[in-house]
Structure formats: C-alpha cells, structure tokens
Amino acid sequence: MAHYSDRQLIEFFSQFVIDERLNLFQRTLTNRTRYLTVVLEDIFQTQNASAVLRTCEVFGVQDIHIIENQNPFKVNARVTLGSAKWLTLHRYNKEENNTLTALQHLKEEGYRIIATVPDPNATILENFNLSAGKAAIVFGSEKPGISKYVKEMADEQLTIPMFGFTESLNISVSAATIIYTLITKLRKSKIDWQLNPKDADELMLKWLRKHIRRSNLLEARFLEEHS
C-alpha cells in the first residue's frame, strides 16, 4: 500500500507547472478563507448566481453552498469566466427540503447562519461582528428572498442600508457589496481567517490536478513509484 502525503504529491506535480503559475497558486492560497462562506438558496437566474461565484473567487471566499429546491443551478460560463473551477461548490439537491439539510450541515461545521434581508431592523452591514465566529451568509431567490426556514434557523439578520426609493438590490450586487465589505473588514482584523495548512495543501492539490493536462496519468506514475 502506498504511503505518501499531499505535500509529496504537490512537490511532484510542481515540476510540471511554470514558476509564474505556481507562485500565483501559492499567493492565491494565502488569500483564501473559509471563515466566511456564502449560501445561495434556490436562485432562479443562473447569471445572478454565477456572478456571485465570480465575486467570491475574486475576493477569496473558497466555499459556496448551493441549495436547489425548485431551481436547479447551472454555472453560466460566460459570467463566471472560469472562476468556478477554483472554488469548492457544495450542492444540496437530494432532499425534499434542501435548505434544512444545508443549514444544519453548516451549523455542525461551526458557522453562524446570517440571513440577508431588506429590513431596517436587521444588523446594518457596517456593524456586523465578525469576531463572534465563522459566518455563512445566506442569499435568497430574486423575488421571494430567503425562505421561512432560513429565517427560523438564522442566528442573525443582515441588511445593507439604503437611502433611495428602491427597497432592494439585485442579488449579485447585494452579494458583491456584502462580500467586499466583510472581506475587507476581516483582512484588517486580528481574526485567524486564513486556511489551515491541511486545507491549503488539499486545495493546492486540487488546483494542480485541474491545471495540469493528464494529471491522472502523472499521478498514476507517482503512485507506482511510491508503492
């Protein structure tokens, strides 16, 4: 039986990647976080959901939890521009109520459930307390918003203050505003928000496998050499 670590396989794969790309992977890893995660509940417009994925990738949020109750999710490649392949997508579509399954899983992982709502009585974005623990930010479908199940299970509600006649923002704009604000605040804090070494190695290995052509054949060779 082969005995090797992810780090050994990473070092092996690194021979087949130019230094510039390898350095980019390493720099990107240092900016990735799982302290914040995003939950998309039953989004109808695939371009909006795909835009949220692109925003998450740009700002370093690694995990996206996609709930598919009525609306199946399909990545819109013209919107994501390839960003989705660098993210970890968790899909919930096998139960009658996938929202409950997703939120319970996140709670078990230690996340606070944060429901985004257009409600002036909710916590204002600028006042959100990041130091209270990991947070899963839930965005609901375009018209109905978050479901009653999210409201019931939420630990807190979060809102973007608005000063015009319009009462809500497009989900992709709302997500971009919230993610950018919280990520900026997180990076300035003393919170330990970066990936732990084990998660970082697992993610680097995943990226290398995606980037290198026929990585499966190279990995088979590596396994043979270490058997």
Cα–Cα dist 227/221, whole Å: 10
| Residues 4-25: b if buried by 16+ CB within 10 A, e if exposed | eebeebbebbbeebeeeebeeb
Mapping DSSP to helix (H, G, I), strand (E, B) and coil, where does residue 194 land? strand
Residue 1 has what pLDDT?
41
Cα–Cα dist 157/14, whole Å: 44
CA 205 → CA 59, 63, 90, 120, distances in Å? 21, 16, 18, 44
Sequence ranges of the domains in the chain: 35-215
Residue 3 has what pLDDT?
58
CATH number, domain 35-215: 3.40.1280.10
In sequence order, the 6+-apart residues with CB closer than 8 A to the CB of 154 are 113, 114, 115, 138, 146
Q: CA angle 52-37-156, nearest 5°?
A: 105
> Could you state, in chain order, the average pLDDT of each consecutive group of 10 residues for the chain (227 residues)?
76 95 96 98 86 95 95 78 90 93 97 94 96 96 86 96 82 94 97 97 95 92 84
Contact 115, 67 (CB under 8 A): no
Residue 35 has what pLDDT?
98
